[in-house]
Structure 1
Amino acid sequence: MTISTQLLGPPAVAGKPSVNQPETNPLPSGEPTVDSLVHQTKTLDLTGTTTKPPMGLTENLSPTFLSTGNPCLDFFFHIVPDTPPDELIQRLQSAWAHDALTALKLVCNLRGVRGTGKSDKEGFYTAAFWLHNHHPKTLAFNVGALADFGYLKDFPEILYRILEGLEVRKDAKRQRSDARRAKRRHKSFSRRRRGEDEDCEDDGDSGDESEPEVEKEEAKASQVIDKETARRLRKEREEAKAAAALHRYQTDASYRVLFDSVAGLFAELLKADVESLIAKQPNKISLAAKWCPSIDSSYDKATLICEAIARRIFPRETSADYEGIEEAHYAFRVRDRLRKEVLVPLRKALELPEVFMSAREWNSVPYNRVASVAMKTYKGLFLEHDKERFEEYLEKVKAGEAKIAAGAVLPHQIIAGLKDEDGGTVAELQWARVVEDFAKKGKLKNCIAVCDVSGSMEGIPMEVCVALGLLVSELSEEPWKGKVITFSEKPEMHLIAGDTLLEKTEFIRKMDWGSNTDLQSVFDRILDVAVQNKLSEDQLIKRVFVFSDMEFDDAASANFGALMEKYYSLNPEGKFNEAEQKKMFQSSWETDYEVVQRKFREKGYNKVPEIVFWNLRNSSSTPVAGTQTGVALVSGFSKNLLTLFLEEGGIVNPEDVLRLAIAGDEYKKLAVFD
């Protein structure tokens, strides 16, 4: 069956003559060849450089590596949600040059909502934007595989950002914020003016007593004109966007291949879903209908994606009704069929909460089918429009008679909802679901979290630290269950107090950190507790999760003060070449780790706790090199990476953990094509 790849656009655009302009970014047509799959079977290159990584100082003047020595591992460890786009792209370029396939897998790991993914949507969009500009075939030909990591809505969003610019969402958010501020200023000014007018003395005849009424009528007329002007301007903007999308499709081969791949994926899934619906097999229906842009939605108007999907589902040759009709009429009819015969019935079959909400059928919303992020977003509306039934559902969840989704919402997003209009009920229940789901997968045997609640962690990193630290404490087994350690010159082990999630998180936030983030003292404290409680080697802490921004005070040198005095007396600017650095920092982390081992052996312990350095803030500080044994380097705000540490096996080194993070079946579908 021949499928037309022609794109017409809305009538206002379709009627205009096509611009004859040479194609940009010419791309060979056709399917990827076997030769282009050579990268898929390439041996994973995580060896990095043979030289020792460069060294420098943390923000707190502690010696640190500035790289793991492996560009791919640097990307995995250093990219966090607050990493600026230009820095992300720079690290991605280095990783791609080192090992393209691994870099591609790390881009997908960045997006992954499930498995071991980091749920960093914005970071993924930045990386996808770079891929389109530099490796367009790799992005376009992997669309089907990429769908396994996030959700199908990612693809219309990527197309939209390619057309409008990477920063289009931030720009729009900034404009809305500016508009709100301007509106508030205008209201404040108007109130002051009215107050001044009322204070003015009446010196005689006020004139036309109907003047206020005249002013009101003039104001109404002005509002009508303003609305009409706004409507006209909005229509002009929409037509301009549609024309730009059509022009891009016609003249940019790289964009056209990506666009066609996205449209083809949606069409393929929707056709299969309709067949499942007809066969009365609703459990086989995907979420394609949920994430497919609606006809005349903002995505559709800006990208023209619905016409492309409709043409693939309803080709001309499938119906005699299409014979001889004009292209514009054909495009109109198949778009209408896409809405009526595909999207509407499939969305109804999926029982999407949004369908009932848009129809104002609040008493029919199936709360057990509300996704985790949607539940967090819409709970206020549920309380407003369906309070009794929604609260009844929450009571059933508490009693174990119903389930609440919590898979996609991040731990710090859950605790952020503790002070919402529902009194934190949804947050408490979602948190309990997260702990329950993890407990089914396994326990964190003999693990403890070290929480960095110092000043440099202020903001979202602090919230993530609190959430992940609490989660580790609740997943750990006795005697470490419910306990955390804070960074300090004299670290303390705390038993988290509180019966509710709110009380527990507040307790962690208020823990004393003593203006110090001394990692070495943490290990001394762990050893002291083990000796005091006469713990056996099996009861000893096996693994320490360090949730921090990696800006430690004294993580690599026992004689830090003397070292720094010598360092700056020799070079006031604090800059040395590699040879000088090696000479200066003789006490490396490996040596420091050996000191820790000796201390533990002296107390009768042959095992030393493994360390998981979990980076939460954009920084170049790197605690260890990529080959350091007994250590893992991970990052991000997602809980998913905890699954890597539920097994009984020990940590080999940071590069080994990276391999495990991208070893799932979904990663095996990825391939590099250019």
Structure 2
Amino acid sequence: MVANFNNIITDHLFRVLHSDSVSPQFLIPSSYGNPCLDLFFHVLYLKQLLPLAWSHNPLITPLTTLKLICNLRDLSNDLGKADEEAFCAAAFWLHQNHPRTLACNLASFAGEGEFGRSIGLMQDLVEILYRVLEGQDVRRRKKKNNQHNHHHQEKAAAAAARKKAQLKSDIEKLKKGDTCEISSVPYFCPSVDSSMERATLLCESIARKIIPLESSHGGCRVRDRLKKEVLVPLTFALDYSQGFDSSAKPCAVKEYLEEVKAGKIIEYVNNHGVGQAAELQWKAIVKAKVGKLENCLAVCDVSPSSMVGISADVSVAMGLLVSELSEKPSWKGKVINFSPNPDLHLVQGNDLKSKCAFVRRLDCGEHIDLRKVFDLILEAAMKGNLKAEQMIKKVFVFNFDCALSNSNNSSRWESKYEAIRNMFKEKGYENAVPEIVYWKVDTLVAPCTKPGVTIFGGFSKDLLRLFLDNDGKVSPYHVMEAALSPKEYQNLAVMDSVLIS
């Protein structure tokens, strides 16, 4: 719906791109041995890592780096950075070093097509244009430089003359009373009297296309008319429509039915209208993943203080999924509560709704005693007279115990883990000590490994798929791959891979 308006801005920005060059500076050691992984997990070093990531492998990493730049602004899931400033800085770097790539991907940045549907960067396109014209540090300097306004005014007018503005279509819909069909374009126009407008002349370019030429007398007047006759009434209509007309909002149930995920299933299990469908979808997922995560246990944190919203749904869903994929007789259908005094629970209930309710009622605390978790596992193995190959392979903790994240506590953990290994050895399970996998589902955490423990964080359907396909093994590369896997990223293309010299 916003494609025509995007074309105006895209063409406007394309025409003002120039080829200033920047050389890579301040080389830093690579934590992961791959600058693309470093860039994904360490945005703090954006300026230093961008040229390193782009040139790491000329056949592969330019496109990966371009995707990583877009991931900086991704708001769609926990694997996106949602960092507007970092994204604009990276886009400016593209403008200086790979202007054709920036120009040819502007439509994706702006929200045209599949990419923009999930990330929505229309306003960022205007910001990029502003920084290209005024300099990367324009927001800090807050100076108004109108030196090249006349030059860009001519280019903006030429661009607008070739494109039909979406705003014109929106005005027609407003006149007909079709307020629910109005696009979000009015929200993304710069204020007509702002420094951004004085630098870009974007509103003036659009106004000269919409306002009849014979009735326009000068830039100030045409911008004022755009504001009074177009932007104000359209914005008011949008505010009213979104506030009072529920039909203007996306249907969550429709989205659920189109592409259901484990966490989403749990979210809708109590919904009267789609609860039965959730039950069927759940059974299909479990059936499809049979043979994955065999002999594993889940520790679920469902305490209100640490897990809220979709995070709680994911914790419940993953706990149930792991329990149903485990083998009989000792592990299938069982979970452990996240508590200083954990216990091994057999999930009660005949359907998904009742099983979810059971897990949500588990007694959970602020931390867990892992030694007691291993005691429970060893006790169940001894009681069932299990062989070493029947022992639990992995314990998935859907929470993140900060006690393992610093060096001092890491040393204490290593001592505890050695005691656990000795305990298993004494009972005849020397080479069958389960591995612990901490998964913080609500926050992106770079994967790291300690003796017997893997820690990572973040959640998306693609990360879940990789998690299951790799039998619970997750590496830093897996997390980055999951973040860049959505179909929206596949529209991006590299047009000038060689760094400008």
TM more than 0.5? yes
Aligned twin of 2:239: none
**Higher Cα Rg, which structure:** 1
Query: In structure 2, do the counterparts of structure 1 residues 424 and 636 end up closer, same or farther at CA, with 3 Å as the change threshold?
Result: same
Q: Secondary structure at the match of 2:114?
A: coil
Kept after mapping to 2: 8 A contact 1:405/1:430: no
How high is the TM-score relative to the length of structure 1? 0.43
* Superposition deviation, residue 535 in structure 1: 1.6
Query: In structure 2, do the counterparts of structure 1 residues 153 and 74 end up closer, same or farther at CA, with 3 Å as the change threshold?
Result: closer
Q: Deviations over 1:110-150 (max 9, x none)?
A: 8999xxx9565683878645543555557655679999xx9
Aligned twin of 1:376: 253
Show structure 2 runs of 5+ residues with no match: 55-63, 129-148, 164-178, 190-207, 212-246
- Larger relative contact order (CA 8 Å, sep ≥ 6): 1
Kept after mapping to 2: 8 A contact 1:96/1:103: no
Name the amino acid aligned to 1:523.
F
* Superposition deviation, residue 656 in structure 1: 6.1
Q: CA RMSD in A?
A: 5.8
Q: Deviations over 1:340-397 (max 9, x none)?
A: xxxxxxxxxxxxxxxxxxxx9xxxxxxxxxxxx8561489xxxxxxxxxxxxxxxxxx
Aligned twin of 2:115: 152
Aligned twin of 1:593: 417
Please say if 1:92 is aligned against 2:51: no
Please say if 1:626 is aligned against 2:448: yes
Q: Secondary structure at the match of 1:507?
A: helix
Name the amino acid aligned to 2:333.
G
Aligned twin of 2:318: 468
* Superposition deviation, residue 28 in structure 1: 2.4
Q: Distance in 2 between matches of 1:295 and 1:512?
A: 46
* Superposition deviation, residue 498 in structure 1: 1.2
Point out the more displaced range, 425-434 or 95-104: 95-104
Q: Deviations over 1:436-464 (max 9, x none)?
A: 4x427x52222221111234324223333
Show structure 1 runs of 5+ residues with no match: 10-17, 39-43, 50-69, 77-90, 166-246, 264-293, 305-325, 330-359, 361-372, 380-403, 557-580
Match of 2:82 among 88, 108, 123: 123
For residues 334-483 of structure 1, the aligned pairs below 5 Å read: 374=251, 376-377=253-254, 405-407=258-260, 410-422=261-273, 424-436=275-287, 438-439=288-289, 443-460=292-309, 461-479=311-329, 480-483=331-334
Q: Distance in 2 between matches of 1:502 and 1:609?
A: 30
Aligned twin of 2:223: none
Aligned twin of 1:390: none
Query: In structure 2, do the counterparts of structure 1 residues 156 and 476 end up closer, same or farther at CA, with 3 Å as the change threshold?
Result: closer
Please say if 1:545 is aligned against 2:396: yes
Kept after mapping to 1: 8 A contact 2:462/2:482: no
Match of 1:27 among 4, 13, 17: 17
Kept after mapping to 2: 8 A contact 1:492/1:525: yes
Q: Secondary structure at the match of 2:397?
A: strand
For residues 158-307 of structure 1, the aligned pairs below 5 Å read: 158-163=121-126, 297-300=182-185
For residues 14-93 of structure 1, the aligned pairs below 5 Å read: 27-28=17-18, 45-47=30-32, 92-93=43-44
Query: In structure 2, do the counterparts of structure 1 residues 119 and 616 end up closer, same or farther at CA, with 3 Å as the change threshold?
Result: closer
Query: In structure 2, do the counterparts of structure 1 residues 603 and 103 end up closer, same or farther at CA, with 3 Å as the change threshold?
Result: farther
Name the amino acid aligned to 1:158.
L
Q: Distance in 2 between matches of 1:541 and 1:295?
A: 55
Please say if 1:604 is aligned against 2:428: yes
Q: Distance in 1 between matches of 2:469 and 2:119?
A: 38
Aligned twin of 1:512: 363
Query: In structure 2, do the counterparts of structure 1 residues 71 and 641 end up closer, same or farther at CA, with 3 Å as the change threshold?
Result: same
* Superposition deviation, residue 509 in structure 1: 0.9
* Superposition deviation, residue 158 in structure 1: 0.4
Q: Distance in 2 between matches of 1:540 and 1:617?
A: 30
Q: Secondary structure at the match of 1:521?
A: helix
Q: Distance in 2 between matches of 1:519 and 1:637?
A: 24
Please say if 1:498 is aligned against 2:349: yes
Aligned twin of 1:57: none
Q: Deviations over 1:141-165 (max 9, x none)?
A: 5679999xx9333388201355489
* Superposition deviation, residue 328 in structure 1: 7.6
Q: Distance in 1 between matches of 2:39 and 2:452?
A: 18
